[in-house]
Amino acid sequence: MRVVYLDNNATTRVADEVREEMLPYLSELYGNPSSMHTFGGQVHRKIETAREQVAALINAEPEEIIFTSCGTESDNTAIMSCLASSPQKRHIITTRVEHPAVLNFCKTMSRRGYRVTFLPVDKSGRLDLDELQSAITDDTAVVSVMYANNESGVIFPISEIAAIVKARGVPFHTDAVQAAGKIPVDVKKIPVDMMSLSGHKIHAAKGVGALYVRRGTRFSPYIIGGHQERGRRAGTENVASIVGFGRACELAREHLPEEGTRIKEMRDRLERGLHSTCPGARTNGDPENRLPNTLNISFEYVEGEAILLRLNEFNICASSGSACTSGSLEPSHVLRAMGVPFTAIHGSVRFSLSRYTTDEDIDLVLEKMPGIIKELRDLSPYGREAGQAGAHSP
């Protein structure tokens, strides 16, 4: 059976063009880019090409790009570098809705004696910039705020945030893992010091990420060892994945216009369709400032894992912020921070599209979802009234 993959914020399929580009580096071109011989040298040159391609996606200079093993490493490296650069400063500012790569890193730092401010968000998942403004002190070593949220898709006003932070002379990092390749990202227009990127979210292979470090920013490496990446990230390069990442960034640039048109239209059709056919549906997150590929929608009085496993029967892949899917007993920290009501917080489903998503994929979800929600709601002791009322609403 065909797989309907609508979980692209979790990971994406490797583009065919990317795989083709990678293959020689998994077979005949196995040289070490650090070697003196021509055989290794050609690999080195290819990595530099990839660096240019990654830089181009965010309008950076190639020497501002450091390859890492993943988005998480980029995030950890960025924050750690800022802390190491001003060891006398003991305060970190971030948000309550960050990816665990930032959130849990900051929590760990808080256990190691740092003071951490976790900025709240409103019901739509938006930040209060005045609150950010007043949280910054002379003791603040770094502000790390994500570009776009992986769960809700909400895009933060990163230019304004960066301007506020830089006006106070504090280093600013943003996790742009979900934003890059989906919306235009331009480091020449945003005064950001560091930015994290990940390969596998944009149709490259898993195991490669990048950290943008603005020229002139104080930097202290996280992984210590050899002189790779000009001494800023030791360890022999994951050559094939880096090469593929470069190509994936090039493809992402080419396809960027499609994100705001075809992909967004499919997402909107899915959203409208689910709202009209499934009673008690509510979209989570600011619909105005949202990634074009992401829909986070809750179905009241039913539980998310149950929805996912019913969808799974039709080979439809999605995610949920419900407690049961996370292995923890509490629903997603993002939805909790947004104050999603208790009737809906356990029943969230995230659909995330990509350029490989087709109209048929959306059709299948729209066909199957009303039945799934109805059956699960029939099983549920709650919301019987809601279900009946919904049947009469438009």
Partner 1 sequence: MWEYTEKVKELFLHPKNAGEIENPDAVGEVGSIVCGDALKLTLRIDRKTDRIIDAKFRTFGCASAIASSSALTELIKGKTVDEALRITNKDIADYLGSLPREKMHCSVMGMEALQAAIANYRGEKPRRAEEGKIVCECFGVTDEKIKRVIRENNLQTVEDVTNFTKAGGGCGSCIPEIEKILGEVRGERVAVKPEAPRRKLTNIQKIAMIQEVMEREIRPLLQADGGDVELVDVEGDKVTVSLRGMCTGCLMADVTVKNIEKKLKELVSEELFVEAA
Stretch that binds partner 1, among 61-69, 150-158, 247-255, 308-316 (CB under 8 A): 308-316
Q: Which of 155, 144, 140 is nearest to 76 (CA)?
A: 144
List Cβ neighbours of 37 (8 Å cut-off, separation of 6 or more).
Answer: 31
Question: Which residue is catalytic, options 70, 82, 278, 324?
Answer: 324
Taking CB under 8 A as the rule, does residue 327 contact partner 1?
yes
Binders of partner 1 in range 329-388 (CB under 8 A): 329-331, 342-343, 346, 378-382
Residue 381's alpha-carbon distances to 21, 73, 341, in angstroms, are: 54, 44, 18
Residue closer to partner 1 by CB (options 254, 378) is 378
Other beta carbons less than 10 A from residue 253's beta carbon: 15
How many residues contact partner 1, by CB under 8 A?
26
Q: How far is the CB of 212 from partner 1 (least distance, A)?
A: 34
Stretch that binds partner 1, among 31-39, 204-212, 222-230, 309-317 (CB under 8 A): 309-317
- In terms of Cβ atoms closer than 10 Å to its own Cβ (0-12, 13-18, 19+), residue 335 is buried
Q: Which of 4, 192, 202, 306 binds partner 1 (CB under 8 A)?
A: 306
Give the burial string for 354-391 (b: 16+ CB within 10 Å, else e): bbebeeebbebbbebbbebbbebbeebeebeeebeebe
Tokens of 225: 């060892």
Tell me if residue 106 is catalytic: no
Taking CB under 8 A as the rule, does residue 328 contact partner 1?
yes
Residue closer to partner 1 by CB (options 58, 302) is 302
Binders of partner 1 in range 239-298 (CB under 8 A): none
Taking CB under 8 A as the rule, does residue 11 contact partner 1?
no
**197 in helix, strand or coil?**
strand
Taking CB under 8 A as the rule, does residue 322 contact partner 1?
yes
Stretch that binds partner 1, among 37-45, 146-154, 180-188, 299-307 (CB under 8 A): 299-307
Please identify which residue in the block is written with the tokens 């959130």: 103
Residue closer to partner 1 by CB (options 38, 342) is 342
Backbone φ and ψ of 131, nearest 5°: -65, -40
Other beta carbons less than 10 A from residue 90's beta carbon: 16
Residue closer to partner 1 by CB (options 237, 300) is 300
Q: Which sequence positions are flagged as catalytic?
A: 324
Binding-site ranges for partner 1 (CB under 8 A): 301-306, 309-310, 313, 322-325, 327-331, 342-343, 346, 378-382
